[in-house]
Amino acid sequence: MTKFIFYLLFACSCLFQSCESVEGLSIDYLVPADVSFPTSLKRVGIVNNMPAIPDNTNIADSIKEPNGKFDIERQRKYLNGNPSITTESLAEALAKANYFDEVVICDSALRSNDNIAREAGLSKEEVESLRKELDVDFLISLENIQLYAVQKIQYMPEWYGNFKGTVDVKVFPSIKIYVPNRNGPMVTINANDSIFWEEEAKTPEKVKALLIKNKEMVNQASDFAGSVPVKNLVPHWETAERYYLIGNSPTMRDAGYYARQKNWDRAIELWKETYNAKKGKQQMYAAYNLALGYEMKDSIDKAQEWAMEAQRIAKKVDKIDDMYPKELLVPNLVPNYYAASNYVKELERRKEYILKLNMQMGRFKDDF
């Protein structure tokens, strides 16, 4: 998703490179989860299916090495996360999402006597026993939590000769979903994300003293890891950037004023005036703006129609039919067509989201 938004932003910068003025805005919309649960699954139990808290005092894979012109020290560590903290964090994050009726956490680790993580998950019998004990409809188990940490001390000449220390940790939580009367998990989710710390001081020794210590880093990273798979499990909000053209005509400037006031009905009226009165680029810009206006009103079908109209006009403006196929792959050669086409794809994606969301949010009976 992040990569797609980057392309959309780049496309918009190409589209508007010759225009007098461009306005940006943010739009928040609900994104469906990767997993769709039947509405009958309302109560979920969160269990820790990992061994006891691991000992990270001696990490065999720890590597110290300078890397780069201003690096004083660079250290890589492969660490075991704290499963108890991650399990609790996962339960808390799911509860805050308010998607399921109840989230229940199992107080004890199921594998407290194990020394290493088991490759096999919960058996059908274990799932049924735990489900009855916790009085839940299904289970989500933490199967693994691994951390990859990179700590760097760097000399920063542009910071008045100070030194900067950073700790960048990538977390890899793995969870499994178990439903009744099924052999094995319904689905396995292997998620990942990063958490970051930074300090600054006059000497490398002071920076190292200020940086987060290993135990606290593991605890905080483990806590963060619990929240990472939640977006795979329940619908969540995302923010995307959008742009619209102000233009050099009085009508387009007035439309921009109403857009800033979030009066989308009036802005749409004026953009339609421009679309009906102009040809070429100005008509294309008006069509693009109209797509945005309807998207802001959650009329995705109309937004898609206008984005496709902007794409159609852009094809003529950029003279696509006169180009070689390889030239179409260079955004700078087809800036308008590239931008409009990417917006069409983004709206297609949003339309797919809505269809999936309607199914996932059906448990609330339109009360969301």
Reply yes or no on whether the pLDDT at 256 is more than 80.
yes
Q: Which residues belong to CATH 1.25.40 in the chain?
A: 2-32+237-364
Mean pLDDT over all residues of the chain?
A: 86
pLDDT tens profile 270-300? 999 999 999 999 999 999 999 999 999 999 9
Q: 28-42, 145-159, 194-208, 305-319: which range is least confident on average?
A: 145-159
Reply yes or no on whether the pLDDT at 338 is more than 80.
yes
The pLDDT score that the predictor gives to residue 10 is 43
Residue 362: left if φ>0, alpha if ψ -120 to 50, beta else—which one?
alpha
For range 106-132, the mean pLDDT: 75
The pLDDT score that the predictor gives to residue 329 is 66
The pLDDT score that the predictor gives to residue 116 is 54
**Is residue 211 within 8 Å of 196, Cβ to Cβ?**
no
Distance separating alpha carbons of residues 89 and 82, to the nearest angstrom: 11
Q: 14-18, 25-29, 122-126, 222-226: which range is least confident on average?
A: 14-18
Q: Which residues belong to CATH 3.30.160 in the chain?
A: 43-234
Helices within the chain (DSSP H only): 2-15, 83-97, 124-134, 204-210, 214-227, 230-233, 250-260, 264-277, 280-296, 300-317, 335-360
Q: Residue 9 — pLDDT band, cuts 50, 70, 90?
A: very low
The pLDDT score that the predictor gives to residue 66 is 56
The pLDDT score that the predictor gives to residue 5 is 41
Q: Please provide the size of the chain in residues.
A: 368
The three-class DSSP label of residue 248 is coil
For range 126-137, the mean pLDDT: 94
pLDDT tens profile 20-62? 588 899 999 999 999 999 999 999 999 999 876 666 655 544 4
The pLDDT score that the predictor gives to residue 1 is 43
**Is residue 163 within 8 Å of 204, Cβ to Cβ?**
yes
Percent residues over pLDDT 90 in the chain: 67
Q: 78-87, 185-194, 266-275, 332-341: which range is least confident on average?
A: 332-341
The pLDDT score that the predictor gives to residue 70 is 66
Distance separating alpha carbons of residues 116 and 108, to the nearest angstrom: 17
The pLDDT score that the predictor gives to residue 12 is 52
CATH of 2-32+237-364, one of 3.90.1070, 1.10.3470, 1.25.40, 1.10.150: 1.25.40
For range 336-358, the mean pLDDT: 93
CATH of 43-234, one of 3.30.160, 3.30.450, 3.30.1380, 3.10.28: 3.30.160
